[in-house]
A and B are shown apart, each in its own frame.
Chain A
C-alpha cells in the first residue's frame, strides 16, 4: 500500500460488495414471486433484472414479494426510487426490463405505458 489514496481507491471498488448490508437509500426493485408470478415467468424477469444491474454496475436493492392479488397481471415488478412513489409495472416480458431500468432507474422517467398502479409515498 503506497498511500492513503490508494487505499481509498481500493475501498471504492469493494464497497459495492457489502453495500446491501448497510442501511441504504438505493432504488428498490420488488418482484412478485408468488406461485402466480413464478408461473407467469417472474424468475426470468428477476434474472433479467440481475443481468442488467450487473452489466451496468448499478446500486439497486432487489427483493421479492408474494402474491398481491393481481395474478391476472403477473409478472409484476415494483420500482421505488427514494422519496418517490412506488410504481407497479405489470404484464412484463423479459424485454421490458431493460427499458424500465434505463428509463426509470437511471433516468428517473416512469415508463408510463407499462404502469398498472401507483402507490403514493
Chain B
C-alpha cells in the first residue's frame, strides 16, 4: 500500500515534560480543529519524543516550514489552524522569543538553544514518531545493524568502537570498545548484553528522553553489541517510574520482532538476538552494575565486589556487557558513519558529544547535547540563556549526587571526563544544576548527601555509617551547632569513605561535600564560627527580615504569605516583622511587589 502524502506535518512533543505541561490536550484540540476545517486529509499529526526544550513546552513544530511554536495553550490551537495551516500566516505571538533581544524566531534551527548543540544520541528525538519503526528506518535506522551483521566481523566492530574513542556515558567513562573486547574474549556458551536505564540522579532525564523519543536506536545499538561479543540475549533495565519509556520500548521491541530485526537469523547472518525489559523498583544503588544484575536475577539489589567484572562473570555467572543508554545510542552512528567521523568531535581523550540535563536557576532548562570540550560558560550562557532575572552565577553542580560543585572561576573549563575530575566534580550521567547567589553551598552539600545516605544499600560499613555521620555533622552546622574541627572531620570522613566503600555510590557520595569545602570553605566557616548563613537559606542562621517603611505600600500581601504570622500590622496600617517569630524563609520578600522587604 502506498503511503498518503500530506502537505504538512505537525509535530507535537509527547515527551514526559510536554505531556505534563498539557501537550495531549493540544493534540486533541488540534485533531478537532483539523476535522472541523476539513484538513485531516492534508495535514498529518505526529507525536514525537522530547525536543529538549522542556522549559518552553508544550512544543509544536510545523513542517515543511519548520516553524517552532512553544508554550502553547489549548486556546492557541484554533489560531494556528486558521492562520498558519489554512492561510500560511505564521502566528508571531506564539513563536519563541530570544531572551536577550526579544526577537521572535520562527525556525527552531535558528534558536540559540539548538544552534549550539550537536545532536548524535538525540538526533532523532523530536523529529520522528518514536512509535513508528517506519520513520526510524526512513531516517537510516537499522542500516548500521545491517552493515555490522552482514559486512563486518565481531573483531572489526570492536576495533571500530575502540578507535572511535567512545567512553561510557553512564558516568564512569570507561572505554566502551575495551569493555566489549573483554566480553568478546570470554569463552562461554551463553553471554548477555544489558542496557542500564536505571537513571536515578535527581533532575536527570537523559536516558528517559532517549528511550521515549528514539527507542529503536537503543535496540539497534544492543543488536550490534550482541553480535560483537557473541551474546544472543539482552536486557534493558529501566525504572518502573518511567511508564512511557517502557511502553514505547515495548512497542519498539515487538515492531522490530515483526520485521525480523529481533529474533532468529537476523539479516540471514545466522545471528539470533532477543531482548527483554526488566522493570526496576527504583533503588538508586541498582544503577551500579553488579547491584543491577543482582536485581535482574531476582535478588536484593546490592553491589558485589569487583573483580570478577561482569565481562567475566556477570548475569547468572555468564559473561555480560553492560552499558548505559546513551552509550548504546552512539553505536549506530559510529558503525554507520565510521569511527573517524565520531572521533573528529571532542577533546583528546573524550570523543563525541554528551547529553546534559540542564536545570536550576537558568532561563532555558532542558536537554542539551554538546560536543565534548564545550565550555561550561557556553552551556550556561549561550545555550542555557544565562541565569534567571537579576541573579548572579555562583556554581554549577555536575554529576548528580556523585558529582561536585564548580565555582565561577572555572566557567571557561572545557567539559570532558578528565577536566571535570581534576576540579573535583565528575561527568556522571550528565545532570547539571546551575546555582545562583541565593544558594547556600552547605545546604546543597547536605541535600545531596542526604540523598545518597538514604539510598545507601547498607552492605558496606563506610557508606552505611560514614555517610550517616557526615550528614549528622552537616545537619549540626546548618542548625548553628557547628564546632571547630567539623570541617576537618568532614574531610577525613570523606576521604576514608572514598577509599574504602564497596561500590561507586559510596565512593562518590562524599564528592558534593568535599568539593563545596574546597571551593566554598568560607561559607562553612561563617556557619560554624559566625553562626550566619551568608545566602540566608539555613533558617536558624539567617537574620530576620525587615520591612522598609519608606518603600512599603501597605498592600498586606506579606501578612497572608507568612507561614508563622510574624508580620504585624498596627492600627496606623504600618507593617513590621517580629524578629523573634521570623524564620527567615523569605516568602514575604519574594511576594512583596515593591521589594521593600530585605534580610536585616
From the candidates A18, A38, A54, name the one contacting B128 in the complex (CB within 8 A).
Answer: A18
A1 touches B138 (CB 8 A): no
Please, how many angstroms separate the alpha-carbon atoms of A6 and B232 in the complex? 23
Contact with A along B255-267 (1 / 0, CB 8 A): 0000111000011
Is B190 engaged at the interface, CB distance under 8 Å to the other chain?
A: no
A18 touches B139 (CB 8 A): yes
Assuming the contacts A46-B42, A50-B42, asked whether A17 and B138 have C-beta atoms less than 8 A apart, the reply is: yes
Interchain residue pairs with CB less than 8 A apart (13): A1-B259, A1-B260, A2-B268, A4-B143, A10-B259, A11-B137, A14-B3, A17-B134, A18-B135, A21-B64, A49-B7, A63-B64, A63-B65
Please, how many angstroms separate the alpha-carbon atoms of A14 and B140 in the complex? 11
Is A3 engaged at the interface, CB distance under 8 Å to the other chain?
A: yes
Q: Interface residues of A, CB < 8 Å — how many?
A: 35
Q: How far is the CB of A106 from chain B (nearest CB, A)?
A: 15
Please, how many angstroms separate the alpha-carbon atoms of A13 and B4 in the complex? 11
Q: Enumerate chain B residues within 8 angstroms of A63, measured Cβ to Cβ.
A: 7-8, 64-65, 88
- Select from chain B the residue with minimum beta-carbon distance to A4: B146
Please, how many angstroms separate the alpha-carbon atoms of A15 and B142 in the complex? 14
Q: How large is the interface on B (under 10, 10 to 19, 20 to 34, 35 or more residues)?
A: 35 or more
From the candidates A4, A11, A17, A34, name the one contacting B87 in the complex (CB within 8 A).
Answer: A34
Q: How far is the CB of A77 from chain B (nearest CB, A)?
A: 12
A1 touches B86 (CB 8 A): no
Assuming the contacts A1-B261, A2-B267, asked whether A17 and B88 have C-beta atoms less than 8 A apart, the reply is: no
Assuming the contacts A17-B134, A18-B128, A64-B88, asked whether A54 and B146 have C-beta atoms less than 8 A apart, the reply is: no
Q: Enumerate chain B residues within 8 angstroms of A112, measured Cβ to Cβ.
A: none
Please, how many angstroms separate the alpha-carbon atoms of A17 and B138 in the complex? 8
Is A114 engaged at the interface, CB distance under 8 Å to the other chain?
A: no
Contact with A along B167-191 (1 / 0, CB 8 A): 0000000000000000000000000
Is B150 engaged at the interface, CB distance under 8 Å to the other chain?
A: yes
Assuming the contacts A14-B3, A33-B86, A64-B87, asked whether A1 and B267 have C-beta atoms less than 8 A apart, the reply is: yes
B88 touches A20 (CB 8 A): no
Is A84 engaged at the interface, CB distance under 8 Å to the other chain?
A: no
List A48-85 residues whose CB lies under 8 Å from chain B: 49-50, 53-54, 57-58, 61-66
- Select from chain B the residue with minimum beta-carbon distance to A30: B88
Please, how many angstroms separate the alpha-carbon atoms of A33 and B267 in the complex? 49
Number of A-B contacts (CB under 8 A): 100
- Select from chain A the residue with minimum beta-carbon distance to B142: A7
Q: How far is the CB of B480 from chain A (nearest CB, A)?
A: 58
List B459-484 residues whose CB lies under 8 Å from chain A: none
A3 touches B5 (CB 8 A): no
From the candidates A4, A14, A33, A66, name the one contacting B150 in the complex (CB within 8 A).
Answer: A4
Please, how many angstroms separate the alpha-carbon atoms of A28 and B66 in the complex? 15
Assuming the contacts A64-B87, A65-B88, asked whether A1 and B142 have C-beta atoms less than 8 A apart, the reply is: yes
Please, how many angstroms separate the alpha-carbon atoms of A23 and B7 in the complex? 15
Please, how many angstroms separate the alpha-carbon atoms of A1 and B282 in the complex? 36
Please, how many angstroms separate the alpha-carbon atoms of A46 and B85 in the complex? 12
Please, how many angstroms separate the alpha-carbon atoms of A16 and B135 in the complex? 10
Q: Enumerate chain B residues within 8 angstroms of A18, measured Cβ to Cβ.
A: 9, 128, 135, 138-139
B137 touches A66 (CB 8 A): no
Which of A1, A15, A47, A62 has its CB near the most chain B CB atoms (within 10 A)? A1
Which of A11, A49, A61 has its CB near the most chain B CB atoms (within 10 A)? A11
List B119-155 residues whose CB lies under 8 Å from chain A: 127-128, 134-135, 137-140, 142-143, 146-147, 150-151
Is B2 engaged at the interface, CB distance under 8 Å to the other chain?
A: yes
B147 touches A4 (CB 8 A): yes
B41 touches A50 (CB 8 A): yes
Please, how many angstroms separate the alpha-carbon atoms of A50 and B147 in the complex? 37
Is B63 engaged at the interface, CB distance under 8 Å to the other chain?
A: yes
With A20-B64, A21-B9 given, can you name 6 additional A-B contacts, CB distance below 8 Å? A3-B150, A3-B268, A50-B41, A53-B5, A53-B7, A63-B8
Interface residues of B (CB under 8 A from A): 2-5, 7-9, 11, 41-42, 63-66, 86-89, 127-128, 134-135, 137-140, 142-143, 146-147, 150-151, 259-261, 266-268
A7 touches B87 (CB 8 A): no
Q: Enumerate chain A residues within 8 angstroms of B267, measured Cβ to Cβ.
A: 1-4, 7
Please, how many angstroms separate the alpha-carbon atoms of A50 and B43 in the complex? 11
A20 touches B9 (CB 8 A): yes
A14 touches B137 (CB 8 A): yes
The 6 closest A-B pairs by CB, nearest first: A64-B88, A4-B146, A62-B7, A14-B134, A1-B260, A14-B138
- Select from chain B the residue with minimum beta-carbon distance to A7: B146
Please, how many angstroms separate the alpha-carbon atoms of A61 and B88 in the complex? 13
Which of A8, A13, A47, A64 has its CB near the most chain B CB atoms (within 10 A)? A64
A21 touches B63 (CB 8 A): yes
Contact with B along A76-117 (1 / 0, CB 8 A): 000000000000000000000000000000000000000000
Assuming the contacts A2-B268, A17-B134, asked whether A7 and B143 have C-beta atoms less than 8 A apart, the reply is: yes
Q: How far is the CB of B394 from chain A (nearest CB, A)?
A: 41
Q: Enumerate chain B residues within 8 angstroms of A34, measured Cβ to Cβ.
A: 87
Assuming the contacts A4-B147, A20-B64, asked whether A11 and B88 have C-beta atoms less than 8 A apart, the reply is: no
Q: Enumerate chain A residues within 8 angstroms of B135, measured Cβ to Cβ.
A: 14, 17-18
Q: Enumerate chain B residues within 8 angstroms of A4, measured Cβ to Cβ.
A: 143, 146-147, 150-151, 267
B88 touches A33 (CB 8 A): yes
Please, how many angstroms separate the alpha-carbon atoms of A14 and B128 in the complex? 12
Q: How far is the CB of A93 from chain B (nearest CB, A)?
A: 20
A16 touches B5 (CB 8 A): yes
Q: Enumerate chain B residues within 8 angstroms of A62, measured Cβ to Cβ.
A: 7-8, 64
Q: Enumerate chain B residues within 8 angstroms of A33, measured Cβ to Cβ.
A: 86-88
Please, how many angstroms separate the alpha-carbon atoms of A38 and B38 in the complex? 14
Q: Enumerate chain A residues within 8 angstroms of B260, measured Cβ to Cβ.
A: 1-2
From the candidates A14, A54, A58, A61, name the one contacting B4 in the complex (CB within 8 A).
Answer: A54
Please, how many angstroms separate the alpha-carbon atoms of A89 and B65 in the complex? 22
Q: Enumerate chain A residues within 8 angstroms of B140, measured Cβ to Cβ.
A: 11
